[in-house]
A and B are shown apart, each in its own frame.
Chain A
Amino acid sequence: MLTIDASILDAIVAHARRDHPDEACGLVAGPVGSDTPTRHIPMANAERSMTFYRFDDREYLRVAREMDDRDEEPIVIYHSHTATEAYPSRTDVGYAGWPQAHYLLVSTREPDVTEVRSYRIVDGVVTEEPVRLLNASPDAVQRYMFGHTPVSVEYECPA
């Protein structure tokens, strides 16, 4: 299960919409071993393509070093599909080199609804997992279509 704050998911989706129809890509870092995504890092798509993405090699090195300095690791690695479903392609599976990460796919093929689905990809095997959204407004759940329903949503109760 991927547990993620709604504000981070909103930022990921905004990034994907901004770059549409090119694929968008990025990651969310978090403390090593915490499985908690805390720091959203949108990355440049060096392919600048509607059907492929690649982390820019220099930016990636800089970000990797920064995460290392901060004792962080990639908790979520995301990219968007702009005309197809939010499911990992064979290429996506081939390149999945961070086995502890949650691979988040966002599809921007529909203008009104964004499909958001999360997967673990380990040794070439794809397993879809539910997304648990924290601090989401009821509206957020309407704007997104999640792979696993019902999506579990936790709202922060005002004091």
Chain B
Amino acid sequence: MSIEVRVPTILRSYTGGQKVVSGSGDTLAELLANLDAQFPGLRGRLVTEDGTLHKFVNIYVNDEDVRFIGALDVKLNDGDTVTVLPAVAGGAGQRGIPGGAGAV
């Protein structure tokens, strides 16, 4: 079983510069563990310490952002493509509000 994984520029230092790598796993969680075994440290850029997806990356399985279809529990099939993109977001944020509402 082989899943094609497309890696953005900022994470290619973990994959020896490769843009496309291969992994396996029945779920996204398993795939990320498999990738981390091949490319140590990669998983830590995608998953936080409490086991949720990092908000700074978008992960897609085929055409779907995994946030909306089960996140780390998404089931994978042979031949699926997983694409990782750095999230593009930000903004001025709210200022002058006591107690927060600053950073997302």
Give the bracket for the number of chain A residues in contact with chain B. Answer: 35 or more
- Provided the pairs A73-B9, A90-B103 are in contact, do residues A47 and B91 lie with their beta carbons within 8 angstroms? yes
CB A7 to nearest CB in B, in angstroms, measures 23
Contacts of A89 in B (CB 8 A): 90-93, 103
Contact of A90 among B9, B65, B93 (CB under 8 A): B93
Q: Mark A35-65, 1 if CB is under 8 A from B, else 0.
A: 0000000010001010111110110110011
5 examples of A-B residue contacts, CB within 8 angstroms: A23-B92, A52-B104, A95-B88, A97-B87, A97-B88
Interface residues contributed by chain B, number (CB under 8 Å): 25
- Which stretch in A8-16, A75-83, A110-118, A151-159 binds the other chain? A75-83
Interface residues of A (CB under 8 A from B): 23, 25, 27, 43, 47, 49, 51-55, 57-58, 60-61, 64-65, 73, 77, 79, 81-84, 88-100
